[in-house]
Amino acid sequence: MPFTPLHMGLGITIKAIMQRKFSLMVFGWSQIVIDIQPLYAMLTDTGELHGFSHTYLGATLLGLLCAVSGKYLGELSLKILRESKHLPISWSVSFLSAYVGTYSHVAMDSIMHPDVQPYAPFSEASPLYGIISIEALYICCLATALFGGLIYYVRQTTKG
């Protein structure tokens, strides 16, 4: 499903642990961008549902786009939200966050969608498909979100 918030669980946990060394804004932006192709396919009933954007090659190219655009969009969003303590987003943080976002998205969707071919155009193999049930994947996503939220809460309440 395009734009699923379940992908954010991993990002929340990484953000809680790494703090300013990871951008949840850029990570979230990468989740949206990578699902534009499936959204287009669903709305127009044309093309592959999980095509090039859901390959590691596509994720590499989209990661670059998300890192560059996400740095500026993330900083603008943080200014609007008056969260200046998270500014600026460094280039290294932006690239790390974008690539963790795009690559993890492909990996997670590879587990649940039979049409994802993560190694295309080099291989049609999808070795992660069905490695765990969709329900277990959802539970993992929700658990990482709750775990990350707990870590974040503890870190915020124990700051001296």
Distance between CA 64 and CA 139 in Å, rounded?
30
Distance between CA 155 and CA 83 in Å, rounded?
17
pLDDT confidence band for 25 (50 / 70 / 90)? very high
Among residues 25, 31, 27, which one has the least CA distance to residue 53? 31
> How much is the pLDDT for 3?
64
Distance between CA 68 and CA 62 in Å, rounded?
10
When the pLDDT of each residue in the chain is averaged and rounded to a whole number, the result is: 94
Among residues 92, 94, 65, 62, which one has the least CA distance to residue 78? 94
> How much is the pLDDT for 85?
86
Structure tokens belonging to residue 42: 């669903």
> How much is the pLDDT for 18?
96
What predicted TM-score, i.e. pTM, was given to this entire model?
Answer: 0.93
pLDDT confidence band for 21 (50 / 70 / 90)? very high
pLDDT in tens, 75-90: 999 999 998 888 999 9
> How much is the pLDDT for 136?
96
Dihedral sign from CA coordinates of 76, 81, 82, 86: negative
- Asked if residue 154 has pLDDT above 70, the reply is yes
Spans of all domains in the chain: 5-157
pLDDT in tens, 60-79: 999 999 999 999 999 999 99
pLDDT confidence band for 2 (50 / 70 / 90)? low
For residues 118 and 107, is the Cβ–Cβ distance under 8 A? Answer: yes
